Amino acid sequence: MKRLAWTAALCVLTVACGFPRHDPREELAKIGVAYSPDALVAQAGAGDTRAVELLLASGMHPGTADKAGSTALLNACAGGYPDVVRMLLDHGADPNQAGPHYMTPLMAASWTGNVDVVKALLAKGASVEPTDDTDDSALLLAVRARRPPVVKLLLDAGAKADTANVAWTALQLASFLGDVATVNLLIAHGASINAADDRGMTPLMHAASAGHDGVIRALLARHADVNAHDAWGETALMFAANNGQTAAVRALKDGGADVNARNRTGGTASSYASLNGHSDVVTLLGAGSVVPASIQPRDQGAP
């Protein structure tokens, strides 16, 4: 009995202590990975869980940056590797440590669109507020990359629906891109539906210029001002007509757009459609005078 008890105790001790133990640096050498900050960042970016585990076990700090200033967490987020991200966070990596161009791990994950990575970062206290050197936040990057599930996570975590950079608000950008799901999410979280950019263009105008009739109908259903005008007196209908966006013109007409509205130079939606050879749009508009071809429209695209 004593011999059995001693054998059992030895087995327990062996399991608890991990005996026999191997030097993690020796294991790294076996798999051909150097013990260096560059290696940690590179292996994290490649999703190599084993190598990252060994490097951390060897004493490498999880927040160590490579020669370019990138961290392992930033690279793992950019690559979309949730297992590596969680490992680094559990070892103390700072979820808000920025890398080159002030890019944070959450910004990288929002652009890539991996929901599990975004959730892991938010659970560890990642901030939704920072912006990179182009004034883009995680929310704006998610909108630009057309990632509605990530947009929802960020909004639920406190990101402001009216977030903006120097060019446009999140809603203006989503409208220009034609992302109906993101448009609806932003509006539901309080985005200003008629907010204008520095040229006076509203989300509806951006959607109209690009011909996104689905976004137009979504905005009008939430009471967007169909006859708002920009700094030159141009309306969403004029943008759509000038660019030959027939479906957008139809959606705006259905929403009550004034086909006879004139801009500061006297142009109408019909005049710009006619000038650019969009006869189907002219026919659809029906009403509205056609001005002489000498009246030239300005560039009616979005930035």
Tokens, residue 99 = 């890398």
Rounded to an integer, the average pLDDT of 132-160 is 98
pLDDT at 297: 47
Does the structural domain 162-303 have CATH classification 1.10.10.10? no
Structure confidence by residue, pLDDT tens digits, 239-269: 999 999 999 999 999 999 999 999 999 999 9
Side-chain half-sphere CA neighbours of 110 within 13 A = 30
Q: Band of the pLDDT at 13, cuts 50, 70, 90?
A: very low
Determine which of 89-98, 231-240, 285-294 has the lowest per-residue pLDDT on average.
285-294
**Cβ distance 157 to 115 under 8 Å?**
no
Mean model confidence pLDDT for the chain: 90
Per-domain residue ranges of the chain: 162-303
Rounded to 5 degrees, what are φ and ψ at 107?
A: -65, -45
**Cβ distance 128 to 163 under 8 Å?**
no
Is 50 exceeded by the pLDDT of residue 18? no
In 3D, which of 90, 182, 118 has the Cα closest to residue 144?
Answer: 182
Tell me which long-range contacts 157-163 makes (C-beta under 8 A, separation of at least 24). 157/122, 157/128, 158/128, 159/128, 159/129, 161/186, 161/187, 161/189, 161/190, 161/191, 162/190, 162/191, 162/192, 162/195, 163/137, 163/139
pLDDT at 22: 76
Is 60 exceeded by the pLDDT of residue 17? no
A 10 A CB-CB count for 12 gives 10
Rounded to 5 degrees, what are φ and ψ at 194?
A: -110, 15
Rounded to 5 degrees, what are φ and ψ at 206?
A: -65, -45
pLDDT at 287: 54
Residue at 274: amino acid letter: S
Rounded to 5 degrees, what are φ and ψ at 229?
A: -125, 155
